[in-house]
């Protein structure tokens, strides 16, 4: 993995200044938050990167997949230039 970010993670912010994905992440236990953060960092430094960490969903949409103890989280994002933009929707937990 490179020591230079290929894309920079940016949290989506609503007009009212809310950051839904950041709020969701902060609601998780610290160990889960750290694991998801590690996977996002892997994508930042290694994009484009494939499964099992990142998967293209089509039409410019990607997901960062994190395997946790009894579930998988999926954080959706798009890429604009050199920025990873996380969309408004809360991440999916399976």
Question: Which domain CATH number covers 53?
Answer: 3.30.2310.20
Residue 34 lies in a domain: yes
Residue 51 lies in a domain: yes
Residue 65 lies in a domain: yes
What is the structure's pLDDT at 83?
A: 86
User: Residue ranges of the chain with pLDDT lower than 50?
Assistant: 88
What is the structure's pLDDT at 89?
A: 54
Name the E strands within the chain: 8-11, 54-58, 61-67, 72-80, 83-86, 92-93
The angle at the Cα of 34, spanning 57 to 19, to the nearest 5 degrees, equals 65
What is the structure's pLDDT at 37?
A: 94
What is the structure's pLDDT at 48?
A: 92
DSSP assignment letter at 82: T
* CA nearest to 79, candidates 1, 3, 2, 9: 9
d(CA 70, CA 87): 25
What is the structure's pLDDT at 12?
A: 86
What is the structure's pLDDT at 45?
A: 95
- Residue-range definition of the domain harbouring residue 73: 8-93
How many folded domains does the chain comprise?
Answer: 1
Residue 3 lies in a domain: no
């Amino acid at each position: 993995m490179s020591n230079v970010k290929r894309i920079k993670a940016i949290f989506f912010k609503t007009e009212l200044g809310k950051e839904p994905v950041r709020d969701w992440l902060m609601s998780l236990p610290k160990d889960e938050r750290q694991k998801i953060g590690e996977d996002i960092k892997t994508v930042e430094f290694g994009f484009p990167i494939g499964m099992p960490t990142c998967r293209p969903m089509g039409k410019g949409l990607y997901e960062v997949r994190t395997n946790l103890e009894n579930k998988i989280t999926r954080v959706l994002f798009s890429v604009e230039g050199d920025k990873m933009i996380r969309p408004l929707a809360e991440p999916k937990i399976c």
